[in-house]
Structure 1
Amino acid sequence: MSFNLSKILMGIILLVINSSCKRDDSDFQNLKQQLDIKKHKNEIVEFEFVFPDTVHKNKPYDGKIIYRSVLDTITTAFNNEKSGKSRYILYSLTKVKDINYNEDYLRTIAIDTFGATNNREIPFYDIKFDQTGTYYIDGIINDNVIIDIPNKQKEDKVRYIVNEERATHKVIVIE
């Protein structure tokens, strides 16, 4: 009888431990989404914001996006006429309290555009918020490669490749 009682007691203890250690998947998904906003990676691009998560009201801040793209395999140089390949990267951004809208709408509300200094960094400057609360720096990275294509007729032909990626960073504004 004591053997069965110890089995039952052990089963209850394991059940309590297992149920108390069970993680809430919704909390895990929320945390994962917050981390994905800060650092993003897929098979086409990878980027990370270098900007504080918490800032003071009415104080200007500078930041940058560390950026990698599949277009790096074509060229990493900007304005390289000798190779026949040119590239430019732009980040058009806005500051908003809510990001529940699509990229088409985001293009219409962008308030500033910054150009990359090289194929790895997109600096942005003088970002400030005039009220406290939760905000997002929301924008679109526009990566462009232009390739001159030589031909026998000596006509100008180019190939134009564009990659666009939405890039968002959550910011808490305090006094």
Structure 2
Amino acid sequence: MLSTTILTLVGSLRAGSINRQLAEAAAAGAPEGVEVKLFEGLGEIPFYNEDIDVEGFVPEAAQALRNAAAASDGLLLISPEYNGTMPAVLKNAIDWLSRPFGAGAISGMPTAVIGSAFGQYGGVWAQDDARKSVGIAGARVVEEVRLAIGGSVTRYDGIHPQDDPDTVAQLGEAVRVLADASVSAA
């Protein structure tokens, strides 16, 4: 069976973040034939600066991100909401992946955005901003994938999201729809 690789970027750098746990649960519950890979090291990537984005001299962490994206069939962004928008680390990753202009590693790549936040709306503003940014960066946003988990701190108090059947089902469906979009784009 063909294998589809989904690169996952988590907007929270905290080791115990619920959004990171959502990424782990998505990887553990991915449909057969789909591999969900969590990218490590977003915090090591310098802020995008065209002066340091020079062929042959791109910072190692930024190049690793570009290579991981180029080796993937789809992109899953998992974002908390910081002050009403996505975290800077996620926006920075999108900026690095958008270059070189018109030919970035995510150009035309099926991409979905999900996440959780403490508030009742689950970070929808952050997710909307991430969809807008990644779409402008050249990715093909899979609009059918919408998953905003509100009240996450209390909902997952004492449990991992992969131990919540509703969350597992929703994540599985989100990954399946993204994988299907990735296969049809190939």
TM-score by length of 2: 0.20
Higher-Rg structure is 1
More strand by share: 1
More helix by share: 2
TM-score by length of 1: 0.20
